[in-house]
Amino acid sequence: MKIKSNFAVLGSLLLASVSANAALTSVTTSAYDAADIISTGTQIVALNATGAGTATGTTTEGGVTWTNFNAASAATAGVSLFGGVTSNSTVGTAGGLTASAVFNGPANNGLLAFSGLADGNYVVQLILSDLRPVLLPNDTLDVYFDDTNSAGTLDATVDVEGVGGMITANFSITGGATQNIYLVQSTAVGDFDGGISAFQVRTVPVPEPSSTALLGLGGLALILRRRK
């Protein structure tokens, strides 16, 4: 009976280990600075709002190539952007990340979802800048990770007036889960779900073992061999 019980426990642990899960592991906020754009790892997606302009072309900033998009062509493989695209508001010079445009989804839908990601560790960067004086002061980007609406836990908030703000977060995927991120632009005249200027998702590169670590492992192997 004890053996069967142990197998049952082991089976439940294995099932738990392969269940779908998307988990936030860290989050930081900062004023926008192109020097803080992450360019390591493999790019999954990098999109830049272009206001009322065309969706063709790219923008290079921070060592990353961003695909320009507008209301006509924001859909991309594996990304569900606010339940569909409805409008772009041009708020600055079109083309740049720091404020070129704010993309908005349908009313009361600020859900940005990434699906089809392989199990592993990822980093997401969210950028928003708004130059429209009518929305100032107290213009922020509020982010709810692992939630599908703003009734969840507020995980990060950053000021986005002028030069804008950036939120950088690390998350892990297991079991092919979907990473949900709910965005709210909170302003002096009200809250607007779904505002964003640019975003990217990249894999987190696995660091190569240092020579010191390899020497340490070799020494440990010798000690274990001698003990045998």
Q: Write out the chain's pLDDT in tens, 228 residues.
A: 444 444 444 344 334 444 678 899 999 999 999 999 999 999 999 988 875 555 567 888 999 998 887 766 566 768 888 877 666 665 544 456 765 577 777 777 899 999 999 999 999 999 998 877 767 778 899 999 999 999 999 999 999 888 889 999 999 999 989 999 999 999 888 888 888 888 999 999 877 665 444 445 555 555 555 555
Give the whole-angstrom CA distance, residue 171 versus residue 1: 40
Tokens (6 digits) for 152: 């969840």
Is residue 4 classed as helix, strand or coil in its secondary structure? Answer: helix
Q: Give the length of the chain.
A: 228
Tokens (6 digits) for 48: 């830049």
pLDDT at position 51: 58
- Domain 22-206 falls in which CATH fold? Jelly Rolls (2.60.120)
pLDDT at position 80: 86
End-to-end Cα separation, the chain, in angstroms: 35
Give the whole-angstrom CA distance, residue 106 versus residue 108: 6
Give the whole-angstrom CA distance, residue 165 versus residue 38: 15
Tokens (6 digits) for 146: 């692992």
Checking DSSP bridges between strand 101-104 and strand 87-90, what pairing results, if any? Answer: antiparallel
pTM of the model: 0.80
Give the whole-angstrom CA distance, residue 223 versus residue 205: 32
Report whether 179 contacts 173 (CB < 8 A): yes
The shares of helix, strand and coil residues in the chain, as percent rounded to the nearest 5, are 15, 40, 40
The string over 44-66, giving b where at least 16 C-beta atoms fall within 10 Å of a residue's C-beta and e elsewhere, is bbbbbbbbebebeeebebbebeb
pLDDT at position 211: 45
